[in-house]
């Protein structure tokens, strides 16, 4: 089983699954989830850990080498280290990582590290308390910083900081974030806002090209060829090579030609592209008695639906679902 690895009709190898374990979050970041949103999946429809283990076992046999636990906020899912242990035990899985807002990380960092999570990405859009309150909807900066330092103490390496750059909101704080990450030896990744749902379309998009030039001059950055985790970021490094800054540019310089990922939502829906509607419901198959061979065939059929690229630039109103509904 799984002798032929997953490849889409455009010749891209698909070896990375972003696995959402909940669509709930304790923050309401302005570009991700609207205030007052209540359209969450019912817990009875969430995949159980056993269902996730079975499904990801099939993906790994089909060549998946990287899995990232996402949400919503994945640390709101109870007993997440238990799931991490199940996944790291899958033969062939090489990398298990976690995306988090870090508000809960202080409580779980040691257990997650012991369970086999290798590295973490932390969403942090500003080091200014008032700005973070504006972006996240609550006074979140100190809990995030506390969680971040707990993650560092627990031995996660690397730790990447994801900062969505927004004109007129946090664009004046990028240099401060870069200096902080260089000092702490975190990897800063600057991200262009994408028009996902009404929240994303209102996120004050700004292209990162000028920011890259500014940071290169300020911090003496040089282009870096090394891949850091198989994602879409293009990196520059400090002259001493000790720190890196990545730029994720889905709008100004998209990376669709090398896309190697799919997203699995908390109810088992496989999304083939953030910026398109193609999806495939695997949850009903898991609960309807399908064999592993039937699920494998369904996954292969779903990968054939993966589009060549997103339409964020030409059709910014196309995607009405929010980021947290897809899985980050």
Q: According to the annotation, is 194 in a ligand binding site?
A: yes
Q: Is the peptide bond before 124 cis (omega within 30 degrees of 0)?
A: no
Instruction: State both tokens at 319.
Output: 């995607």
Is residue 99 annotated as involved in ligand binding?
yes
Question: Is 131 assigned a ligand-binding role in the annotation?
Answer: no
Residue 29 labeled ligand binder: yes
Q: Residue 241: which region, alpha, beta or left (left: phi > 0; alpha: psi -120 to 50)?
A: left
273 is in an annotated binding site: yes
The answer on whether 25 is annotated among ligand-binding residues is: yes
Is 54 marked within a binding site? no
Take residue 325 and report the two structure tokens written for it. Answer: 């509904």
Q: What tokens were used for 172?
A: 């004046």
261 in a known ligand binding site: yes
d(CA 296, CA 312): 30
CA distance 321 to 198: 8
Q: What is the dihedral of CA 312, 125, 259, 186, to 10 degrees?
A: 160
Query: Per the annotation, does 31 bind a ligand?
Result: yes
On whether 61 is known to bind a ligand per the annotation, the reply is no
Residue 44: count of CB within 10 angstroms of its CB? 6
Are the C-beta atoms of 273 and 245 separated by less than 8 Å? no
Q: Determine if residue 263 is labeled as part of a ligand binding site.
A: yes
Residue 256 counted as an annotated binding residue: yes
| Per-residue CA distances from 260 to 169, 308, 315 (Å) | 32, 12, 23
Annotated binding site for S-adenosyl-L-methionine: 31, 72, 123, 194
Annotated binding site for GTP: 18, 68, 99, 160, 261-263
Annotated binding site: 18, 25, 29, 31-32, 68, 72, 99, 123, 160, 194, 256, 259, 261-263, 273
């Amino acid at each position: 089983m799984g002798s032929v690895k997953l490849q889409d009709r455009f010749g891209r190898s698909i070896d990375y699954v972003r696995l959402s374990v909940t669509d709930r979050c304790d923050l309401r970041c302005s570009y991700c989830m609207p205030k007052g949103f209540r359209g969450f999946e019912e817990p009875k429809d969430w995949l159980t850990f056993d269902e996730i283990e079975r499904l990801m076992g099939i993906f790994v046999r089909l060549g998946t080498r990287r899995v990232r636990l996402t949400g919503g906020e994945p640390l709101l899912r109870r007993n997440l280290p238990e799931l991490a242990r199940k996944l790291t035990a899958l033969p062939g899985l090489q990398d298990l990582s976690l995306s988090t807002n870090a508000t809960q990380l202080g409580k779980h960092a040691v257990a997650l590290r012991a369970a086999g999570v290798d590295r973490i990405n932390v969403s942090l859009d500003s080091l200014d308390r008032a700005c973070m309150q504006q972006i996240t909807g609550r006074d979140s900066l100190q809990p995030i910083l506390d969680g971040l330092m707990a993650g560092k103490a627990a031995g996660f390496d690397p730790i990447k900081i994801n900062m969505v750059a927004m004109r007129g909101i946090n664009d004046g704080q990028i240099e401060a974030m870069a200096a902080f990450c260089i000092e702490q030896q975190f990897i800063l990744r600057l991200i262009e806002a994408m028009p996902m749902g009404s929240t994303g379309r209102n996120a004050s998009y700004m292209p990162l090209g000028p920011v890259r030039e500014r940071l290169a001059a300020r911090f003496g950055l040089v282009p870096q060829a090394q891949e850091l985790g198989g994602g879409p970021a293009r990196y520059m490094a400090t002259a001493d090579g000790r720190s890196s800054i990545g730029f994720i540019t889905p709008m100004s310089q998209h990376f669709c030609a090398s896309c190697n990922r799919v997203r699995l939502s908390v109810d088992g829906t496989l999304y083939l592209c953030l910026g398109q509607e193609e999806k495939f419901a695997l949850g009903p198959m898991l609960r309807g008695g399908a064999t592993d061979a039937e699920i494998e065939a369904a996954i292969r059929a779903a990968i054939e639906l993966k589009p060549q690229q997103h339409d964020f630039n030409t059709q910014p109103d196309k995607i009405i679902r929010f980021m947290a509904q897809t899985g980050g």
